[in-house]
A and B are shown apart, each in its own frame.
Chain A
């Protein structure tokens, strides 16, 4: 869900290791969830999405897991690379076939160390 914080939580991962970024949401009405990557000075970039009727979806090097029971979403990045360093946000939306606002989480900063 949404929360306001002064400092983003940071996850430090060594290059080549797997990363797991977590997100808790509060809106049970969300029909889908999206993970965005935001690099410094840029807009959010789509990574992967998942519908609320799914519990897992895989992309290239990324996997999103959805646990509706505990309202938890995670993004797994395999073989993390320096280019993965960024802030990652989860966002929820409603309504297939319509357009709706996205509700963003607080975000997690991923730092990849060499």
Chain B
């Protein structure tokens, strides 16, 4: 059973360009979370999605950032008109839903975005 997959692993963009980060959850997992990590800091929640639905986007910046998890295909985190402050590691996690316990999140290897 493959783990959470993210690509690309490294992404370099110039200011003003768009960045697209992809996440394929573990098989059987229907929930995806995106987190951002700045150097020497903990992970900060951005958004939580189920298939075709955004459940919680309380951590998403109001502008330039969007996320989707279509019926088919990976979840996409999209950053428009990137700025240097967007440089960070972006981690995706997925979880199943179990009614009897909390739902452990499994993390992918991350995408390291560098904005020049």
Residues of A within 8 A of B (CB): 2, 4-8, 31-32, 34, 36, 41-46, 49, 51, 89, 91, 93, 95-107
Contact = CB atoms under 8 A, between A and B. Distances in A.
Contacts of A105: 42
A101 B45 contact: yes
A97 B98 contact: yes
Provide the main secondary structure of the chain A interface.
loop
Interface in B7-54: 31, 33, 35, 40-45, 48
Given A44-B107, A96-B100, 5 more contacts: A31-B102, A36-B107, A43-B4, A44-B91, A102-B105
A97 B42 contact: no
B106 A46 contact: yes
Contacts of A34: 104
Nearest to B95: A99
B101 A97 contact: yes
A89 B110 CA distance: 16
A96 B102 contact: yes
Contacts of B106: 46
A104 B102 contact: no
A43 B108 contact: yes
A101 B100 contact: no
B33 A101 contact: yes
Given A42-B109, A46-B104, A99 B40 contact: no
Contacts of B105: 102
Residue among B44, B97, B103, B108 with most chain A CB within 10 A:
B103
Contact of B43 (A32, A44, A51): A44
Residue among B41, B44, B48 with most chain A CB within 10 A:
B41
Contacts of A99: 31, 48, 55, 95, 97, 103
B45 A97 contact: no
Given A43-B108, A43-B110, A5 B40 contact: yes
